[in-house]
Chains A and B, each alone.
Chain A
Amino acid sequence: MNRKLTCERFQDLLDLRAAGRLDEQGRAALASHAAGCPDCALLLRVQEALALPPPAELEARVPDDLVTGMWAQVEQTLPAPDSGAAKTWAPWVGRRRRAAERAGGRDLSSGPLAPLLAAAVILFALLSGYLWSEVRHLQRREGRLAVELARQDRLVDGFLQLASGILAERGPWTPLPAGQSRERWSRPEAAPTLGELTRLLGQLPPETTLLSAPDASAFFWKRLAWKGLAGQDPGAPVVMDDGLQAAEALALLHSLRLTPEARIPARWWTALTEADLPVVGFAEARRPASHRAPAIHEEREP
């Protein structure tokens, strides 16, 4: 039996072992196979390294001082009750608003311009998807540099959180467990049209700064899009020292030459997820059939 044990069957036995249901013969088969198969031997070690008591038992072993001290630590960081941070459409809005208030100024990300700001940022995240080929180029030339940079900037997290603010206006959205989000987001009828985004953007004065210089510089995909438009080497360093203005965002949008009815192609979105980036998802709640969007109308491939 031991000689015939396949690597697939080995994993079945690993599951039985984890459940405490592996008999003596099974344990011998595991050991025998692992002795001649380095990868399976590593899996055995992984299982041993991850072994911990079952959830209920582990909870009982949590140090009490960590539990009793948690509220004191959390409370220190919570925003004031009257700040409205718990009701904001994006996690950093509350922080920015408070910072702006402290500085005696006004924050673009609050008030009636909030959806416009969100539209601009989602626009850039999506528009720059057409430069995915550039990322491929980077990946080929410089290994996994592009993917690592994208991960650092946590673009997808930020994109989805902002997008939820926009799409909430078109229907109720609810959080979705991670792992199910890609499928929902790849549904073209769930995406906003470019027309919707440009109309929102067009209501802003052209010189309106949508992203501050530090924010814009931190936006990996935006830097890439910028280089693509300017015909620069995508691998060269770039400094975004003037932030992102509304007119610049519209120029990028126009360069795509899509019809206003065109919805954001699903592959732009999936191109991002192909990079194995962490995803925080949102689901489209049920809406009346009359609210369903028309099919995709694209003029050309991006």
Chain B
Amino acid sequence: MDTSRIDALARASERGDREAFHELVEMLTRPLLAAAYRYTRDWEAARDLTQDTWIKVWEHLGRYDPARSFRSWLLTVHRNHCLSHLRRASVRRELATEDAILERTASADPAPDPLMAAGRTEFDVLLRSALARLPENQLQVFTRVDLEQADQAEAARELGMKFSTLRVTLHFARRRLAGLLREMGAEP
């Protein structure tokens, strides 16, 4: 993907050029949907989150620093939005939504793609609820490494911490997550 082209489109969008923004949406929606799917395990929810992100980005384009990569900035905004969604879903007890997702998963035709067939299970719901209860720094590290499957050294750089700090934080995040899941009645 042509990063200079993307950055140029972002600068044009910042000046109010909707056609440029349209092109950005066409070019970058796929990675956003994939990232959101990791958080939700549901394509409809991923679509909603991605749509929200694009609207937020349009409204906040004035904060984009042209000296940085637009794609990185966009993914950071998107990740924060997905994390907020994770927390809101837990705190507001959006069980109706969770139930609807579970129902959709249960009633859907068998997925043609075995890698994606796992879908959303009861354990997934418990897991995401437990994730939302992690302290902010642990959540950031855990989601980057274990949920988004990012390289640990790269995640440490992105999060602005030493590699050793990331390792320790990840260790404590996993321990705490296991404890939370146990308290919530999850079984191994």
Q: Is B65 an interface residue (CB 8 A)?
A: yes
- B14–A86 touching, CB < 8 Å: yes
Known: A43-B174, A179-B159. A62 touches B30 (CB 8 A): yes
Interface residues of B in 22-77 (CB under 8 A from A): 22, 25-26, 29-31, 33-35, 37-38, 43, 46-47, 50-51, 54-56, 58-65, 73, 76-77
In the bound complex, do residue B161 and residue A53 qualify as a contact, i.e. CB atoms below 8 Å apart?
Answer: no
Asked if A276 and B135 make an inter-chain contact with CB atoms under 8 angstroms apart, the answer reads yes
B16–chain A nearest beta-carbon distance, Å: 5
Shortest C-beta distance, B149 to chain A (Å), equals: 6
Q: Which of A61, A87, A89, A278 contacts B116 (CB 8 A)?
A: A61
Interface check A41, CB cutoff 8 A:
yes
In the bound complex, do residue A179 and residue B160 qualify as a contact, i.e. CB atoms below 8 Å apart?
A: yes
Docked complex Cα distance between A295 and B5 (Å): 44
B140 within 8 A of A: yes
Chain B residues packing against A (C-beta within 8 Å): 13-14, 16, 18, 21-22, 25-26, 29-31, 33-35, 37-38, 43, 46-47, 50-51, 54-56, 58-65, 73, 76-77, 79-80, 83-84, 87-88, 91-92, 113, 115-116, 118, 121, 123-124, 127, 133-137, 140, 146-149, 152, 158-161, 170-171, 174-175, 177-179, 181-182, 186, 188
| Contact in complex: A45, B65 (CB < 8 Å) | no
CB of A143 within 8 Å of the partner chain: no
A-side contacts of B92, CB under 8 Å: 152
Contact A278 B87 (CB under 8 A): yes
Does A171 lie at the interface of the complex (its beta carbon under 8 Å from any beta carbon of B)?
no
Complexed CA–CA distance, A41 and B3 (Å): 42
B136 touches which one: A14, A73, A279 (CB < 8 A)? A279
Which residues does chain B contribute within 8 Å of A230, judged by CB atoms?
none
The verdict on A251 contacting chain B, using a C-beta distance below 8 Å, is no
Docked-complex contact A174 and B65, CB < 8 angstroms: yes
Contacts of B115 in A (CB 8 A): 52-53, 61
In the complex with contacts A62-B30, A152-B91, A180-B160, A46-B146 CB distance below 8 A: yes
> CB distance B63 to A73 under 8 Å?
no
Chain A residues positioned under 8 Å from B158 (CB to CB)? 177
- Judge if A81 is at the interface, Cβ distance under 8 Å: yes
Interface residues in A164-202 (C-beta closer than 8 Å to B): 164, 174-175, 177-180, 183
Would A278 and B80 count as touching, CB distance under 8 A? yes
Q: How large is the interface on A (under 10, 10 to 19, 20 to 34, 35 or more residues)?
A: 35 or more
Q: Are B59 and A151 in contact (CB under 8 A)?
A: no
Could you write out 27 A-B pairs with CB less than 8 Å apart?
A: A18-B149, A34-B188, A43-B174, A45-B123, A46-B146, A50-B146, A50-B147, A51-B118, A55-B34, A55-B35, A59-B34, A66-B33, A70-B50, A77-B51, A88-B62, A151-B88, A174-B63, A175-B64, A175-B65, A175-B76, A178-B80, A179-B137, A179-B160, A180-B159, A276-B135, A277-B136, A278-B80
Asked if A280 is at the interface (CB within 8 A of a chain B CB), the reply is: yes
- Name the distance in Å between B143's Cβ and chain A's nearest Cβ: 10
Q: A18-B149, A179-B140, A279-B136 are in contact. Are A42 and B16 (CB under 8 A)?
A: no
Q: Are A11 and B174 within 8 A (Cβ)?
A: yes
Contact residues in A for B188 (Cβ distance below 8 Å): 34, 38, 41-42, 44-45
User: How far does the alpha carbon of A61 sit from the alpha carbon of B54 in the complex, in Å?
Assistant: 21
A170 vs chain B, min Cβ distance (A): 16
